[in-house]
Amino acid sequence: MIKYGVVHNENNNINNFRNFNDWRLKMRKGYKHTEEAKRKIGLAQKGISKTHSKESRRKMSLAHKGMKKPWARNNPQTFKKGQIGLNKGKKFSKEWKKNMSLANKGKHHSPSTEFKKGHIPQNPIKKGEHRGTKTEFKKGIIPWCLGTKGVMKPNRTSFQKGQKPWMKGKHHTNEAKKKLSIACKGRELTEEHKRKISESHKGGKHWNWQSGKSFEPYGLEFNNQLREQIRARDNYRCQECFRHQDELRTKTNRKYKLPVHHINYDKQNNKPNNLISLCKSCHQKTAFYMEEWTEYYQDKINEMGVY
């Protein structure tokens, strides 16, 4: 019978077992190999590959998939779900922050993404070049908001200079606030109420009413051929945000052609110097502050040399 690497028979010396038991006790925790033993182990391992084969690595990966790392399973420092962070709620002092900043100065976490001297960027910006044409300011362009600071187009609800606010110096009590909150909670307007609100904002009662300009018919010469000529003249780009026609999409991701805007809002005036290409987003902005937009686009057309 073989036990603990020793062959036992009737003639076996019991001392062999005792010697082995003594060796086993010596190899308990804290025991260190002698230099001679280390040298022999080193020679025995010489020539054996220290790296796993691709197949071995693949099998190990599959075996550990979805599991925590073996060295992190019983590690008390491993973060567990529901555990409160070590520094949660704590604030570092200014002195501490300064020391941390100095300690990390010049360090980079990833050498592969670190910018090195003499390195050429992937998309270098040349001198005088601008990354986005939409936000680029061109020489001679007059900002659309120039001189409009603090200016508001007057309407029925506009606050007039010298007018005293009806609630000035007054405050709702807590009881009144509570009642207002309860009264408006889950409130749904009746059809009659909605109709009255609609009537009160209809036609000339609305602050932005322009005497029905949107219902005026276009001139006969304002056809597809003329619109295409204006788009080609403007290089198929919106003259406000400078996006190309091919880039334009609706909310449903459908392509559309550049709309052509009448600068002075006169639909019968279809001269080239009164027409300009705008995308839908920029075209909608021209429905307000018409005088300012008219002046702005007339200056832009003159800069383009269209007469």
Alpha-carbon distance of 280 to 250, in angstroms, equals: 9
In this structure, are residues 141 and 297 in contact, taking their beta carbons and an 8 Å threshold? no
Q: Which residues make beta-bridge pairs with 262?
A: 275
In this structure, are residues 231 and 258 in contact, taking their beta carbons and an 8 Å threshold? yes
Task: Report yes or no on 282 lying in a domain.
Answer: yes
The one-digit pLDDT tens for each residue of the chain (307 residues) are 444 444 445 445 445 545 555 655 555 556 777 888 888 888 877 766 567 788 888 888 877 766 555 555 566 666 667 777 777 777 888 898 888 888 888 777 776 777 777 777 767 777 767 766 666 777 777 777 777 776 666 666 666 777 777 777 888 899 999 998 888 888 888 899 888 888 888 877 776 676 766 667 888 888 999 999 999 999 999 998 889 999 899 888 899 999 999 998 888 889 999 999 999 999 988 888 888 889 989 888 888 888 7
3-state secondary structure the chain: CEECCEECCCCCCHHHHHHHHHHHHHCCCCCCCCHHHHHHHHHHHCCCCCCCCHHHHHHHHHHHCCCCCHHHCCCCCCCCCCCCCCCCCCCCCHHHHHHHHHHHCCCCCCCCCCCCCCCCCCCCCCCCCCCCCCCCCCCCCCCCCCCCCCCCCCCCCCCCCCCCCCCCCCCCCHHHHHHHHHHHCCCCCCHHHHHHHHHHCCHHHCCCCCCCHHHCCCCCCCCHHHHHHHHHHCCCECCCCCCEHHHCECCCCCECCCCEEECCCCCCCCCHHHEEECCHHHHHHCCCCHHHHHHHHHHHHHHHCCC
What are the structure tokens assigned to 212, written together?
Answer: 């029905």
* pLDDT for 2: 43
Instruction: Give the number of residues written for the chain.
Output: 307
Give residue for tokens 């009662």: 205
Task: Report yes or no on 239 lying in a domain.
Answer: yes
* Cα 56–Cα 61–Cα 67 angle in degrees, nearest 5: 145
Task: Report yes or no on 40 lying in a domain.
Answer: no
* pLDDT for 15: 54
* pLDDT for 54: 84
Task: Report yes or no on 290 lying in a domain.
Answer: yes
* pLDDT for 292: 87
What are the structure tokens assigned to 232, written together?
Answer: 């080609």
Task: Report yes or no on 246 lying in a domain.
Answer: yes
Number of domains, the chain: 1
Query: In angstroms, how far is the first alpha carbon of the chain from the final one?
Result: 113
Give residue for tokens 């200079």: 161
Boundaries of domain holding 296: 215-304
Task: Report yes or no on 272 lying in a domain.
Answer: yes
Q: Which residues make beta-bridge pairs with 249?
A: 255
Task: Report yes or no on 148 lying in a domain.
Answer: no
* pLDDT for 114: 73
What are the structure tokens assigned to 149, written together?
Answer: 């600071």
In this structure, are residues 291 and 253 in contact, taking their beta carbons and an 8 Å threshold? no
Task: Report yes or no on 153 lying in a domain.
Answer: no
CA distances from 11 to 4, 18, 111 (A): 17, 15, 69
